[in-house]
């Protein structure tokens, strides 16, 4: 298992280097410059600003300069936010993104798990059909489309919740709900599939034959064995939450990293785009690694397979 973790960490570093390199050259290939909105800026002032940020140097020089700063944990300064430090901006915006993301996953796991269990227990009935339809709709509708619909109907039309902005707990509900729908859809389908398979195993039938009640068999034996494999789906769900939050935050006016990323692309803020990309990439890779380690800890067979692989 130790060798497996070390191998994954090395692979993560190589992957991160490739992501940084690709992102650097892609953002610099975007049309325009960070000063494209400053049309009335005198040419000499424009040249001075570009020189200050090193944007008048050859692209390969800018790349190695950025990588050198990165090894010193320096993500650079924002061109859009008056030279503010990118690391500090990410710290300030992390809480908002983390809160709606964690809340979205929690809502999705609770509702999705409940639907999956009911769907498995009542196969072919209306609750099963409802859960299946919900799963299909949840996968089909992008989170940003749902965010727009919720903002208009629940926020503007009915006035139940604030349609946008940030300031109280009520402002977090609709962004989290928008992100949770994909989690509900995928997790409910996964739980249903696993639980149906477990309930058809011989040891479940043996437990029933020994006189255990249906509820005891399901809760003590069925769910425990069905939910262990369900841990594996947490990795992709976390990725979906993080990527979905990019546009959802912008729609609801959440002052998070997703909104910063979108604004940075629009305004050609190269350092901010690179900083948020690095942060999101690290967050995704670390989350997936931790979930894999958790699964290996829960299921001893994974640890045995890891030792054999060593």
Lookup: tokens for 233: 């789906």
pLDDT at 229: 67
The CATH fold assigned to 94-266 is MetI-like fold (1.10.3720)
Look at 115-124, 133-142, 300-309 and tell me which has the smallest mean pLDDT. Answer: 300-309
Ramachandran angles phi, psi of 85, nearest 5°: -70, 130
pLDDT at 299: 62
| pLDDT over 80 (residue 272) | yes
Query: Residue 185's closest CA among 228, 146, 229?
Result: 146
Averaging pLDDT over each range in 74-83, 221-230, 256-265, which range is the top one?
256-265
Taking residue 126's Cβ as centre, other Cβ atoms within 10 Å add up to 8
Query: Residue 98's closest CA among 179, 164, 20?
Result: 179
Burial 77-114 (b: 16+ CB within 10 A, else e): bbbbbeeebbeebbeebeebbebbbebbbebbbebbbe
pLDDT at 304: 46
- 39 vs 105, residue with greater confidence: 105
- The whole model's pTM is what? 0.81
pLDDT tens digits along 210-243: 877 777 777 777 777 777 767 777 777 777 787 7
Taking residue 144's Cβ as centre, other Cβ atoms within 10 Å add up to 17
- 37 vs 130, residue with greater confidence: 130
pLDDT tens digits along 91-123: 999 999 989 999 999 999 999 989 998 998 888
Calpha distance 83→273 (Å, rounded): 14
| pLDDT over 60 (residue 303) | no
Calpha distance 181→192 (Å, rounded): 17
CA distances from 294 to 90, 231, 238 (A): 27, 8, 14
β-pair partners for 77: 85
pLDDT tens digits along 154-213: 999 999 999 888 888 999 999 999 999 989 998 998 888 888 888 888 888 887 788 777
| Domain locations in the chain as residue ranges | 94-266
> 276 near 269, Cβ under 8 Å?
no
Ramachandran angles phi, psi of 77, nearest 5°: -120, 150
CA distances from 1 to 285, 286, 293 (A): 17, 16, 8
Taking the alpha carbons of 63, 72, 34, 47 in that order, is the dihedral positive or negative? Answer: negative
> 281 near 22, Cβ under 8 Å?
no
pLDDT at 302: 55
| pLDDT over 90 (residue 294) | no
Query: Which region, left, alpha or beta, applies to residue 307 given φ > 0 means left and ψ of -120 to 50 means alpha?
Result: alpha
Calpha distance 44→47 (Å, rounded): 5
């Amino acid at each position: 298992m130790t060798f497996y973790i070390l191998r994954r960490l090395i692979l993560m570093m190589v992957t991160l280097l490739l992501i940084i390199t690709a992102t650097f050259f892609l953002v610099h290939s975007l049309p325009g410059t960070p000063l494209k909105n400053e049309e009335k800026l005198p040419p000499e002032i424009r040249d001075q600003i570009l020189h200050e940020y090193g944007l008048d140097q050859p692209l390969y020089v800018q790349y190695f300069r950025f990588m050198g700063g990165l090894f010193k944990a320096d993500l650079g300064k924002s061109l859009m936010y008056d030279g503010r430090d990118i690391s500090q901006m990410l710290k300030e915006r992390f809480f908002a993104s983390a809160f709606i993301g964690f809340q979205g996953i929690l809502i999705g796991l609770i509702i999705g798990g409940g639907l999956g269990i009911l769907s498995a227990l009542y196969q072919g009935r209306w609750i099963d059909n409802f859960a299946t339809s919900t799963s299909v709709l949840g996968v089909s509708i992008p989170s940003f489309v749902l965010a727009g619909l919720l903002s208009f109907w629940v926020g503007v039309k009915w006035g139940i919740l604030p349609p946008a902005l940030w300031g109280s707990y009520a402002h977090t509900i609709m962004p989290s709900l928008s992100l949770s729908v994909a989690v509900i859809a995928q997790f409910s389908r996964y739980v249903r599939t696993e639980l149906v398979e477990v309930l058809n195993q011989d040891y479940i039938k043996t437990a029933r034959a020994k006189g255990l009640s249906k509820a005891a068999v399901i809760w003590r034996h069925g769910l425990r064995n069905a939910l262990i494999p369900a841990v594996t789906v947490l990795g992709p769900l976390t990725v979906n939450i993080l990527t979905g939050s990019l546009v959802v935050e912008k729609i609801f006016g959440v002052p998070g990293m997703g909104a910063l990323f979108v604004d940075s692309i629009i305004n050609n803020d190269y350092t901010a785009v690179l900083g948020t990309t690095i942060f999101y990439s690290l967050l995704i890779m670390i989350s997936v690694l931790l979930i894999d380690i958790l699964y290996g800890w829960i299921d001893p067979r994974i640890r045995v397979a890891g030792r054999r692989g060593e």
